[in-house]
Amino acid sequence: MLEKLQRLLGLRTDPVIFFTSAGLTVLFVVAAISLTEQVDRIFATASDWLLTNLGWFYILGVTTFLVYLLWIAVSRYGHIRLGAQDDRPEYSRRTWFAMLFAAGIGTILMFWGVAEPISHFAEPPQQGVEPQSTEAARMAMAYSLYHFGLHTWSIFCLPSLTFAYFVYVRGMPFRVSSVLYPLLGDRVYGTAGRIVDIAAVMGTLFGVAVSIGLGTMQINSGLARLFGLPENSLVQVLLITVITAIATTSVVYGLDKGIRRLSNINIVMAIGLMLFVFATGATLFLAKGIIENVGVYLSSLVSLAFWNDTFADTGWQGTWTVFYWAWTITWSPFVGIFIARISKGRTIREFVLGVLALPTAFTIVWFSVFGMSAIDIELNGPGGLVREVVEEGDIPGALFTFLENYPLTTLASALSVLIVVIFFTTSSDSASLVVDMLSAGQREEGGPTRQRVFWAITEGVVAGTLIAATGKSGLDALAEVITVLGLPFFVLAFLMMYSLVRALRTDFPELTGPPAALRRRMERERRTREWGAGKRDGENAEGIEGTGGAGRAGRAGGETSEGAGGGASEGGR
């Protein structure tokens, strides 16, 4: 029946994944509208339980991802190319970085660049730190960089590396279930695989919906200051409608003409805004701060990576760190597959170090400029940010309140709104492309454009409906859903780590085991032992060594053939 409906609509996708995901999305939206209190209560209870009892697992998990990625980058597997040996990257490093950033956390940095440092500066999470002190400022920067640096990009890098390997090296479909082939075998093409893919589609839609909601609130706040527009659900729904239309247009143009051009334009504008704040603000203070924050981040990284607030148990990590990790990992399939899609031809080492290092370096500079400028305004300027952002809770308006302390406020605010709009557009555009890939299993943009248009509109409808139906509380409820959905995605990420190592060992047996020098030394020691022990049958040691060597060569050849055959067989499937 579903296949008949697919043919009738002219779609080219997996009908079970496509229609089930679409149906569940509609069901959730209807339930959120008609049974708001009940849905809120269920997910609030589950979310509170997870934050209280499994917050440590989320924190340990992301740190484990980071250590694993650094290990695989410097290991003997690092030189393996994600594709054929003669494949080369499709995009330049500059374009690649711009697309990484636009599809990743560009919108979130615009939203939190001022709000998070000033929040931790006013209300330090660790006991014994005086609010709005020098130590509070230092720790505020450490927490912000921890939340948006290497750990966040590890959440994106792990699935994207795994997808890229299984798709470009093994030739598997562009689905989340493909990376579980070493565990599930041919069941990835059956019910088990489809359940995984449907969960990935749902997580992507809801994760992007949260970002859309935050971005819309920030755009509404900026327009309220520029043109006096009211800040309410009606204006926000209209904004979502307009921006979804822009994203849909970009979807129609495709990856190269749409996302790539918008990403390049937007990263230039974002850097321009950052340089404006740097040049017109406390320039020397910021220059020193950028360098100092590198040290603050690196010196705090290990302790924060394992900090669980065990003694104080204030609950702060649940509302900040754990929520960030849970939210980020729910849309890691979207960002992961998108990054994999634009990274064919790069080596594992280049891929991992690029995805981790380049965005993290930019994040350090971004937060140093905006976060330290905000703190400087509180310490040495007119202040007001703590009152607006922390005491009055106007987080969406934090950036625009901040820009009121700079010349050309109207122009800078208008540019900020435009940057958020384009980041919003590229995120929605990228998500539409990826959700279409997840539901179709296609490596290229081969499906009908109407499929990607459908998903672009669906993302806007999910966010718009929740805002219209329940306002900000609806987005809070969705955030609680995301926190609950994050748990199975964490489990999936650990399975990805195992699957990738198992596949690498199968496909490249010559790289498995001790290094060549160690193997040669072990061989010499074995021969020495055999020579000293002598041979019972009166054969000379040299003859036996030759026979043994031939036998070993034969066994090694058989193992290599078996390993290559296994890899080819799995890839063929």
Look at residue 114 and tell me if it is in a domain: yes
Element (H, E) at 449: helix 449-470
Q: Residue 525: inside a domain, yes or no?
A: no
- 154: three-class secondary structure by DSSP: helix
Q: Which residues pair with 533 in a beta bridge?
A: none
At 573 the pLDDT is: 34
| Count of CA atoms in the C-beta half-sphere (13 A) of 554 | 6
Contact between residue 413 and residue 222 where contact means Cβ atoms under 8 Å apart = yes
- Evaluated on CA atoms 509, 512, 517, 519, the torsion sign reads negative
CA atoms of 343 and 335, how far apart (whole Å): 12
179 in a structural domain: yes
Q: What is the 3-state secondary structure (H, E, C) of 322-340?
A: HHHHHHHHHCHHHHHHHHH
CATH of the domain at 117: 1.20.1740
Q: Is residue 566 part of a domain?
A: no
Question: How many structural domains does the chain have?
Answer: 1
Residue 503 counted as domain residue: no
What is the pLDDT, as a whole number, of residue 392?
Answer: 85
Q: Measuring CA to CA, how many Å separate 541 from each of 404, 521, 523, 524, 552?
A: 87, 18, 14, 13, 16
- pLDDT tens column, 527-561: 665 565 554 445 444 444 444 433 333 333 333 33
Residues spanned by the domain of 436: 2-498
Residue 54 inside a domain? The answer is yes
In a domain, 238, yes or no: yes
How far lies 181's CA from each of 167, 184, 573, in Å? 11, 5, 10
Quote the radius of gyration of the chain (alpha carbons, Å): 26
CB 241 within 8 A of CB 464: yes
* Sequence-separated (6 or more) residues with CB below 8 Å from residue 555: none
Whether 168 and 179 have beta carbons less than 8 Å apart is answered as no
Q: How far apart are CA 33 and CA 312, in angstroms?
A: 38
pLDDT (0 to 100) of residue 558: 38
d(CA 405, CA 389): 15
DSSP labels, 538-566: ---HHHHHHHHHHHHHHHHHHHHHHHHHH
Closest CA to 330 of 482, 466, 177, 544: 482
- Torsion (CA) 194, 200, 202, 205 in degrees, nearest 10: -140
Instruction: State the pLDDT at residue 422.
Output: 82
CB 369 within 8 A of CB 398: no
Nearest to 343 by CA among 82, 34, 36: 82
How far is 402 from 398, CA to CA, in rounded Å?
A: 6
User: Is 386 part of any domain?
Assistant: yes
The residues facing 347 across adjacent strands are: 81
Q: What is the pLDDT of residue 77?
A: 94
SS3 of residue 302 by DSSP:
helix
CA 229 to chain CA centroid, Å, is 33
**471 DSSP assignment:** T
Give the pLDDT of the chain (573 residues) as one tens digit per residue. 777 887 777 778 888 888 999 899 888 778 777 777 777 778 788 888 888 888 899 999 999 999 999 999 999 999 999 998 888 888 888 888 877 766 556 777 888 899 999 999 999 988 889 999 999 999 999 999 999 999 999 999 999 999 999 999 998 888 889 999 999 999 998 899 999 999 888 888 877 777 777 778 888 888 998 888 898 888 888 988 888 888 787 777 665 555 667 777 888 898 999 999 999 999 999 999 999 999 999 999 999 999 988 888 888 888 889 888 988 888 788 788 888 888 999 999 999 999 999 889 999 999 999 999 999 999 998 988 999 888 888 888 899 999 999 999 999 999 999 888 887 777 777 778 778 888 876 545 556 788 888 888 888 888 887 777 655 555 566 567 777 878 888 999 999 999 999 999 999 987 876 655 545 555 665 566 556 555 444 544 444 444 443 333 333 333 333 333 343 333 333
Query: What are the backbone angles phi and psi of residue 43, rounded to the nearest 5°?
Result: -75, -30
Q: Report the distance separating Cα 180 and Cα 194, nearest Å.
A: 12
Bridge partners of 551, per DSSP, are: none
Q: 320 in helix, strand or coil?
A: helix
| Rounded distance between C-alpha atoms, residue 342 and residue 345, angstroms | 9
3-state SS track over 198-264:
HHHHHHHHHHHHHHHHHHHHHHHHHHHHHHCCCCCHHHHHHHHHHHHHHHHHHHHHHHHHHHHHHHH
Query: What pLDDT does residue 393 have?
Result: 81
CA 25 – CA 32 distance, rounded (Å): 11
